[in-house]
A = this chain, B = another copy of it.
Amino acid sequence: MSEVTLTDPIWRAFIGYANVLILKTLLMSFVTAYHRISKRCFATEEDTVYFGIEKKGVVLNNPSVERVRRAHQNDLENIPLFIILGVFYCTTGPALSTALLHFRVFTAARILHSIVYLLQVPQPARALTFFVGMFVNMSLVYHILLNAAF
């Protein structure tokens, strides 16, 4: 890496896939809200007041709500780190085909991870989608350490 350059077609592709992943992550908030409202299970007193279920009180253990929250949390543990790794990776001048492979596999794996998690597909479906995403992240870490850092 003689200088920091963001090669254009790779950067454009990266922004596209990162954008899709961010949109997917943001949408998890709406899935949580859907379950909280339809099941009348709120974590906050003022929400129970607003929906007139003050007597029922807060509910912190609804299975549907907690499932979405775990899926959302798993996104937060993996997707932002992928995007940061992706920015670094773009500055190392990778081959377009290799870069696209990383971006596409990770994006597909994480979308499938959410579907599998929310639809409660039997294991090892969720583990597989998780590890494919993790493997892409590890491959990016390895590539960056080899080509850009130190």
Q: How far is the CA of A12 from the CA of B144 in the complex (A)?
A: 10
Task: For the complex, give the distance between the alpha carbons of A131 and B139 in Å.
Answer: 32
What DSSP secondary structure best describes chain A's contact surface?
A: helix
Q: Determine the distance from Cα of A43 to Cα of B67 in the docked complex, in whole angstroms.
A: 9
Output the least CB separation between A99 and chain B (Å): 14
A residues sitting closer than 8 Å to B (CB atoms) are 1-4, 6, 8, 11-13, 15-16, 18-19, 22-23, 25-26, 28-29, 43-47, 49-50, 63, 67, 70, 72, 76-78, 80-81, 83-85, 87-88, 91, 120-124, 126, 130, 134, 137-138, 141, 144-145, 148-150
In addition to A28-B77, A44-B70, A87-B87, 17 A-B residue pairs with Cβ atoms within 8 Å of each other are A12-B150, A13-B149, A15-B148, A15-B149, A18-B88, A19-B145, A19-B149, A22-B81, A22-B141, A23-B138, A23-B141, A25-B81, A26-B81, A29-B134, A46-B120, A46-B123, A50-B124
